[in-house]
Structure 1
Amino acid sequence: MEERQALVDVGTSAPEWDATQSRILDAADELIVRRGVHGLTIAELARRAGHSRPTVYRSWSDADDVVRAALLRRVAVILDRFPAHAATRSELVDDVLRFTALFRADAVYGRLLAEEPEAFTRYTLQRVGSSQRLILGWLATAIGSAQRGGSVRWGDPNEIAVMLLLIAQSAVLSHGTVSELLSEDSWERELRAALDGLLRP
């Protein structure tokens, strides 16, 4: 098996939040988990974070902007669990499946999937935002590496990454809907087959 390559800068990275911003995003996480995205207001966020509303507004324009930043940070935390990029198709599929498991288990994203699927759709599927771009950069780098090793078909890594993300996102969003039709093991097996089929030369 080829050695996995160290992470490289592909031009897409999460911002570095300072201590004040991190406290505000921590408070946002708590509010989303407890009340959902509709329960997050700048006033409540400032109160929970122990800062003034002007302090929040110095970094974000409104509550929606804070939610997007909080979701981006959650994705960045998940991606930090992958210290090296996949170098083969098999490793890439394994990583995507592991990412989906971590994503579904995440307190914030798990809450949205279970309680507010319409909010999940709005923040993750209706437009390509910073969270998706972070994931796409991660996928494209791994795809390019696996292409050079010959285990992934040729094509624009960025375009293949988009379709890979679409398949994974759709499977995650629909997981609850099909839980009576597919067991957890079957869902994972079929998602693995779909991802592998997309990438296979």
Structure 2
Amino acid sequence: MTSLRHNRSETTSPRDAYLDAARGCILEVGWRRTTLTEVARRSGVSRMTIYRAWPDMASLLADLMTREWTGIVQAAVTDRPLVESMVAAARTLRGNHLFVRIIQLDAELILPYLLERRGRSQDLILGLLTAAIAEGQRTGEIRAGSPVLIARAAVLAAHGFVLSAHTMIGDDVSEDDLDAELTLILERMLQP
């Protein structure tokens, strides 16, 4: 289970420290029971300090999710091939403590990003993916077509492997088996 940026360091900004405190609260009691007052208490600052940064828990959670999810994806994007990076990001998101806790206790928080609109982290992921696809097309490693469309289709394909994989594991199917299938889907989707 990988989590990012949950350890305070001497270089952590005050804003990151507040997000770390919120992360700790959500891991402990869930989003519904976390308050800005509790985040302030855990951060060792006044409530007004937190209220100046975020008017409500929804905006704080949006910033926390953006930081967490984009950090995971950026860490997965390495010198390895694009499909391998995408599958690594899906696996890491699926095992991220904050992600798991939100799915367990407050799954409705994810629904707007699946049914109504894209979030900032999704837009960042799409931007990274679109650029990587365009570069792969330039070198002939990825099929022709709109990089934006291909990136969006790839993200849609990966959604189920992030959000619902746990419902498909069991009997004769493992998490590794599902990751192998995601790899196959993405490779075939991108091949020239």
TM-score by length of 1: 0.81
Provide the residue aligned with 1:144 in structure 2.
134
Report the alpha carbon displacement of residue 173 of structure 1 after superposing the two structures with TM. Answer: 0.8
> Aligned partners of 2:34, 2:131: CA distance in 1, in Å?
35
TM-score by length of 2: 0.84
Report the alpha carbon displacement of residue 81 of structure 1 after superposing the two structures with TM. Answer: 1.8
* Superposition pairs of residues 1-201 of structure 1, within 5 angstroms: 19-82=13-76, 84=78, 91-123=81-113, 126-180=116-170, 182-201=173-192
**Once the two structures are aligned, what percentage of the paired residues are identical?**
34
Cα RMSD for the two superposed structures: 2.2
* 76-85 vs 49-58, greater mean Cα deviation: 76-85
Gaps of 5+ in 1: 1-17
Letter in 2 for 1:29: R
Greater RCO between the two (CA within 8 Å, min separation 6)?
1
CA deviations on 1:4-29 (whole Å, 9 max, x unpaired) are xxxxxxxxxxxxxx722111100111
Provide the residue aligned with 1:7 in structure 2.
none
Letter in 1 for 2:36: I
Report the alpha carbon displacement of residue 123 of structure 1 after superposing the two structures with TM. Answer: 4.9
Gaps of 5+ in 2: 1-11
Q: Is the 8 A contact 1:68 1:123 kept in 2?
A: no
Q: Is the 8 A contact 1:71 1:131 kept in 2?
A: yes
Matched positions, count: 181
Report the alpha carbon displacement of residue 114 of structure 1 after superposing the two structures with TM. Answer: 4.0
